[in-house]
């Protein structure tokens, strides 16, 4: 968490203020454009074919949506192995 860029650390803090989980839940991959990081961010959770979402992950995503992240910025990638 200490290595997160300031904008993502602020977003995570805002999300955690809305949810019960103090850690975990942030998607596996976060990509963004430095010119407008929050608006351009893409959050990708990677799952195996039989892997389920954990409660902390669901909470984090709902908190992100409530904090202004758009649905189109969230994706799930199912890996075949």
Average pLDDT, the chain: 93
- Ranges of each domain in the chain: 6-78
Residue-wise pLDDT tens digits, 20-40: 888 888 999 999 999 999 999
Question: Which ranges of the chain would DSSP assign to H, the alpha helix?
Answer: 6-16, 37-40, 55-66
What the block records as the tokens of 70 is: 């758009």
Burial 18-54 (b: 16+ CB within 10 A, else e): ebebeeebbbeebebeeeebeeebebebeeeeeeeee
Per-residue pLDDT band for 18 (boundaries 50, 70, 90) equals very high
6-78 is classed CATH 3.40.1350: yes
Residue-wise pLDDT tens digits, 43-81: 999 999 999 999 999 999 999 999 999 999 999 999 887
């Amino acid at each position: 968490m200490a290595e997160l860029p300031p904008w993502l650390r602020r977003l995570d803090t805002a999300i955690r203020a809305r949810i019960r989980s103090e850690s975990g839940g942030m998607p596996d991959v976060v990509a963004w454009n430095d010119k407008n990081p929050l608006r351009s961010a893409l959050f990708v959770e990677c799952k195996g074919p039989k892997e389920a979402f954990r409660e902390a992950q669901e909470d984090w995503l709902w908190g992100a949506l409530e904090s202004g992240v758009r649905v189109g910025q969230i994706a799930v990638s199912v890996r075949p192995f």
